[in-house]
Structure 1
């Protein structure tokens, strides 16, 4: 079995890193794995930060009965080009798929309520195998009448080790936040916040600078959409932050963001702003005790590299079994 994983070229966000982790895990397990970067015009498309995964890079997809092509939800249309290979879709972000599907549906002036152009992935005739990076994604796929195997990701060793070193440092009355996510509600918190609390956006920073900020911060807030298991909340927890989120997307369940209900708030509630600020105030005064309550979450994050290897094995073995079954069916036909 040959496995080709499609990845956006020169992208260093969380989704592409997960794709690199899967290729790496498959290679370690002895599978014939290869990364296909799109577009193909870069002679050295593997980002420097991901070279540690040492992916084997090829330019051409092998569309054959003994091949598998894995795409993230941003590459769904690539699956339609296949005629013989097994199609696999890895749900790294539910929202990216939904937004693109709706935009295409409107562009094609399809009637309201009709399934979008990308919904072919749920049609059994296409035989798409689904992987879910989050429980949130798994539940979404289930609601469409399909099943997804869990294939998450992990925080790489470099980040874990750096966070451990920073975790015991001196903390300041800082709340860190990502201005690209949930900024409207975060601004409400900032406007009502006591003057002694400093709010610092995570922007225009290198990975080391992000870690330094999180290492100094007592709290990290994230009121964004949570389209999958986002990395920054995990890194913040590893750096010793008290993590506070909303209940959107993957933050809405205890599988993807297992931090407990006392640290999750529904921003639609009229009392949400004072409730969140009260929790932040507690963390400013009693940070050490509250951060200790995240020890199980931190251990869960650190253990996930081994869990991901097992998930990768399960997914690849399932694909292998499916290819073998189809081969038997062809022989019997």
Structure 2
């Protein structure tokens, strides 16, 4: 087993795309023989206590929280601790929302993971800005092509793609497409656009995916023929992938990662420019997607195949980055 040990910083009790990706990384690293600990933390540097071990290593002691692991992530089987030994053997993975923590570690190697470019940009700007950020000694990891290319425009030319994968737990397997309904589902971030389009779509029901359990979301995706998402796509979002894996036809806008084929690899006709009066045009496509479902579904074969390979690709990325110790 390698002598390095990995600490992955993660908000406690949270069930969103970012924390799941952090747990997926920890689980894969353990399977590759690494020693890994989750550090559940709310991100306040003021709460960190510094001390030293008998070997004179610097130790950061993080506040402890009751039952910090969300039930949805317990199956990843990652131990957690409240102590970080900050020496040359340590590898720290910090999510993009906490750039202010990068310079708190003096001996460890730091990986800063841009799980969401948009949230990360806001966090860096509100901390000390990109001039200071570029001067820090850390490795940038980008969850999406969108993030990587935006970082290049900011003068951060060297970053490594580390995506994540669509969990089988979030997808209904063995879907019987013949039982699907003339149902279009959408999420809260794109609610305004979806509800403006709905009157232009005949013979279809629209339903908002919100305030549902994971099982309820899976069942809705299994029932639906189309999923539309005009949200900001701050990273390579999970819900479009989960819907596509559930044999939904997909429509997005052109915001964030949705504008990049590498992140959302669907034909351009299903990516709608929302800068003008697009409601009737989008409605006509959605209606045809639902009423001629089987014909349109074939256009998403590549997306579904890409999704099925995500776990393998993610593991290869991890090996390239961490086993090579970039």
User: One fold, TM greater than 0.5?
Assistant: yes
Corresponding position of 1:210:
217
- Which of the numbers 140, 143, 150 marks the counterpart of 2:161? 150
Q: Which residue of 2 aligns with 1:170?
A: 179
Structure 2 distance, partners of 1:43, 1:122, is 36
2:270 counterpart residue number = 263
2:228 corresponds to 1:228: no
Structure 2 stretches of 5 or more lacking a match?
Answer: 43-62
Determine which of 289, 304, 307 is the counterpart of 2:313: 307
Matched-pair contact (CA < 8 Å) for 2:201–2:287: no
Partners in 1 of 2:68 and 2:38 — Cα distance?
10
TM-superposed deviation, 1:44: 2.3
- Listed as ranges, the matches of 1:88-167 within 5 Å are 88-102=111-125, 104=126, 116-117=128-129, 120-123=132-135, 126-146=136-156, 147-160=158-171, 162=172, 164-167=173-176
Please name the residue that 2:55 is paired with: none
Residues 1:49 and 2:49 aligned together: no
Q: Deviations over 1:242-264 (max 9, x none)?
A: 10001111111110000110110
SS in 2 for 1:294: helix
Q: 2:288 aligns with which of 282, 293, 300?
A: 282
Deviation at 1:24, TM superposition (A): 0.7
Taking the aligned partners of 1:284 and 1:69, their CA distance within structure 2 comes to 46
- C-alpha distance 167-61 of structure 1, shift in aligned 2 (>3 A): farther
Q: CA deviation at 1:276?
A: 0.8
Contact 1:153 1:305 in 2 (8 A): yes
Give, in whole Å, the separation in 1 of the partners of 2:30 and 2:180: 41
| TM-score, length basis structure 1 | 0.86
Mean alpha-carbon deviation: is it higher for 39-48 or for 137-146?
39-48
Does the CA contact (< 8 Å) of 1:89 and 1:131 recur in 2? yes
Task: Find the aligned partners of 1:238 and 1:218 in 2 and give their Cα distance.
Answer: 12
1:183 and 2:194 correspond: no
Structure 2 residue 22 is the aligned partner of structure 1 residue 16: no
**Alpha-carbon deviations, 1:135-159, whole Å to 9, x = none?**
1111122222221111100011223
Contact 2:198 2:283 (C-alpha < 8 Å) held by counterparts = no
**Number of residue pairs aligned between Structure 1 and Structure 2:** 302
Shift of 1:237: 0.8
Cα shift at 1:293: 2.1
CA distance in 1, matches of 2:147, 2:214: 27
More helix by share: 1
RMSD (CA atoms): 1.7
Q: Secondary structure at the match of 1:166?
A: coil
Distance 2:199 2:123 in 1: 34
Asked if the contact 1:190–1:199 (Cα under 8 Å) also holds between the matched residues in 2, the reply is: yes
Alpha-carbon separation, structure 2, partners of 1:119 and 1:165 = 50
Residues of 2 paired with 1:56 and 1:140: CA distance? 34
